[in-house]
A and B are shown apart, each in its own frame.
Chain A
Amino acid sequence: MANLSIDKVRKYYGAHEVIHSISLDIADGEFVTLVGPSGCGKSTLLRMIAGLEGISDGEIRIGDRVVNNVQPKERDIAMVFQNYALYPHMTVAENMSFALKLKGENKATIAKRVQEAASILALEPYLDRLPKQLSGGQRQRVAMGRAIVRSPQVFLFDEPLSNLDAKLRVQMRSEIKDLHQRLKTTTVYVTHDQVEAMTMADKIVVMKGGNVEQVGRPLELYDRPANLFVATFIGSPSMNLFKGTVTATGFATADGVLPLPAGSHGAAATYGIRPEHLTIADDGFPVEVVVLEPTGAETQVIGRFGQQQLVAVLRDRVDYKPGDIIRLKPDLGCVHLFGQDERHL
Chain B
Amino acid sequence: MLAPAVILMTLFLITPFILSFWTAMTNQPLVPRPTPVRFVGMANFVRILTDDLFWTSLWNVTRFTVWVLPVQCGFAFLTALILNQKMPLRGLFRGMFFLPAITSMVVVCVIWGTLFQYPSGPLNQIVGFVSGGRIQPIDWMGNPDWAMFSIVLLSAWQAYGFQMIIYLAGLQGISEELYDAARIDGAGLWGRFWHVTMPGLRPTHVFVLVITTIQAFKLYTQVAILTQGGPKSSTETVVHYMVRAGFEEQKLGYASAVSVILFLIVLVIALVQRRLMRRFDV
Contacts and interface: CB of A to CB of B under 8 A. Distances in A.
A77 B187 contact: no
Interface residues of A, number: 22
Nearest to B177: A85
A85 B183 contact: no
B202 interface: yes
Contacts of A99: 184-186
A-side binding surface: helix, strand, loop or mixed?
mixed
B90 interface: no
A98 B181 CA distance: 10
Contact of B180 (A52, A88, A103): A52
Contacts of B195: 87, 98
B186 A85 contact: no
Contacts of B177: 81-83, 85
Interface string B186-202: 11000100011001101
Given A87-B196, A89-B199, A89-B202, A73 B180 contact: no
A146 B180 CA distance: 14
A50 interface: yes
Interface in A82-114: 82-83, 85, 87-89, 98-99, 102-103
Nearest to A47: B180
A102 B178 contact: no
Which of A51, A52, A85 lies at the interface centre, i.e. has the most chain B CB atoms within 10 A of its CB?
A85
Interface residues of B, number: 18
A78 interface: yes
B175 interface: yes
A85 B175 contact: yes
A258 to B, nearest CB: 48
Contacts of A51: 183-184
B185 A73 contact: yes
Nearest to A152: B184
A155 to B, nearest CB: 11
A73 B181 contact: no
A72 B184 contact: yes
Contacts of A88: 199-200
Interface of B: 175, 177-178, 180-187, 191, 195-196, 199-200, 202, 281
Interface of A: 47, 50-52, 71-73, 77-79, 81-83, 85, 87-89, 98-99, 102-103, 146
25 contacts: A47-B180, A50-B184, A51-B183, A51-B184, A52-B180, A52-B183, A72-B183, A73-B183, A73-B184, A73-B186, A73-B187, A81-B181, A82-B177, A83-B175, A83-B177, A87-B181, A87-B196, A98-B185, A99-B184, A99-B186, A102-B187, A102-B191, A103-B186, A146-B181, A146-B185
* Cβ-closest 5 pairs across A and B: A73-B186, A99-B185, A85-B181, A85-B177, A89-B199
